[in-house]
Amino acid sequence: MAEMLLRDAMSKALREALDEDDRSFLMGEDIGAYGGAYAVTRGFLEKYGEERVRDTPISESVFVGAGIGSAMIGMRPIVEVMTINFTLVAMDQIINHAAKLSYMSNGQLQVPLIIRTVTGGGGQLAATHSQSFENWYASVPGLRVVVPATPYDALGMFRSCRKDNNPIIFAEHALLYRVKGEVPEEYYEVPLGKARIAKPGTDVTLVAYSGMVRVAEEAAAKLEEDDISSEVIDLRCLSPLDLDTVIESVKKTNRVAIVEETWKTGGFSGTIASDIQEAAFDELDGPVIRINGPDVPAPYARNIEQLMIPSSDWVVKSVKYNFGL
């Protein structure tokens, strides 16, 4: 299998959408002439033209609403919001319209809309550009929330998203675009709602998604040096959530730590921890550990920003201290 950057995997996914489905088009800020804030759509405007690659003003509520409307009449729009922080301006459109129209119309209306957006911190973009809100959207009935951590999953899950008639938040972590991974040349899909065992283990389960998968894998390698075997679960999706894979792992390891970049208060780790307690309480040899960023705005200074994002050393220390390993 050839290796591919996650950025290139997403570019391939978008080209497939435009090449294979005349109903698909792209819409968003700086995706055309500029080539995308993260260079994912470089060259698209020249190849596909303005009808199918539409640059928009800074008006998230308007162009997300336009995407919802076009999806309702049979198009398959892919709307890019430059950063998940900017989706706040379009939350009414996303939550009160995209997520609910199918339910409120008794299935007479469908909204097959994919909202691509960039999440996460670590790039020194300060408090209003370095947040993770995918956990918020995962709490909204009617929305699917996809959080790929590898080029393989980014391409494979996007292909599955294109066949789904639900509105989807497809959140790509800003620091993963340069991550390389093997991607088969032959066609494949990754189903939504099926977690991945990134590394098998027997002593403790580390649950993560998006950018924190790499952190969990690094922590597992460090724990291995002390003969502590960690199983790393990449959730892949927050909605639908594959809890079964997590529970099966907990039954094997009897210990679990959830690693998440966003704030601890209101974090999705709280939902997962509660679900584990309900489904596998008797299997646990200790409390469910939540490793989240602190409840503070993201600082601009790099040295301080790095302190508030969970690191592999942070995970190792927490696992050893809480489980006595």
| More confident call, 325 vs 10 | 10
Of the candidates 27, 6, 20, 34, the one whose C-alpha atom is nearest the C-alpha of residue 187 is: 20
What is the distance in angstroms between the CA of the first residue and the CA of the last residue of the chain? Answer: 38
Q: What is the C-alpha separation between 160 and 191, in angstroms, rounded? A: 6
Q: Residues 178-202: what's their mean pLDDT?
A: 97
Instruction: Let me know whether 252 and 315 are in one domain.
Output: yes
Q: Which of 29, 80, 129, 173 is catalytic?
A: 129
| More confident call, 228 vs 1 | 228
Query: Could you tell me the two tokens for 115?
Result: 């909202």
Distance of CA 241 to the CA centre of its chain: 12
pLDDT digits (tens, 9 = 90+) for 240-261: 999 999 999 999 999 999 999 9
Residue 148 near residue 172, CB atoms below 8 Å:
yes
User: Which of 148, 183, 218 corresponds to the end of one domain?
Assistant: 183
Q: What is the C-alpha separation between 75 and 178, in angstroms, rounded? A: 31
Q: Active-site residue 129, yes or no?
A: yes
Instruction: Let me know whether 29 and 78 are in one domain.
Output: yes
With H, G, I as helix, E, B as strand and everything else as coil, classify residue 22: coil
Query: Could you tell me the two tokens for 317?
Result: 């220390």
Amino acid at 48: Y
Q: Residues 284-312: what's their mean pLDDT?
A: 96
Total domain count for the chain?
2
Q: What is the C-alpha separation between 2 and 85, in angstroms, rounded? A: 34
In-domain check, residue 189: no
Instruction: Let me know whether 140 and 71 are in one domain.
Output: yes
At 325, the pLDDT band (50, 70, 90 cuts) reads: confident
pLDDT of residue 10: 98
pLDDT digits (tens, 9 = 90+) for 27-51: 999 999 999 999 999 999 999 999 9
Instruction: Let me know whether 115 and 153 are in one domain.
Output: yes
Q: What is the C-alpha separation between 286 and 111, in angstroms, rounded? A: 43
Q: Is the pLDDT of residue 1 over 90?
A: no
pLDDT digits (tens, 9 = 90+) for 83-108: 999 999 999 999 999 999 999 999 99
Instruction: Let me know whether 165 and 250 are in one domain.
Output: no
At 238, the pLDDT band (50, 70, 90 cuts) reads: very high
Q: Residues 284-307: what's their mean pLDDT?
A: 96
Instruction: Let me know whether 276 and 168 are in one domain.
Output: no
Instruction: Let me know whether 162 and 269 are in one domain.
Output: no
In-domain check, residue 191: no
Residue 197 burial (CB count, 10 A): 14
207: which DSSP letter? E
Q: What is the mean pLDDT of the chain?
A: 97
Residue 282 burial (CB count, 10 A): 7
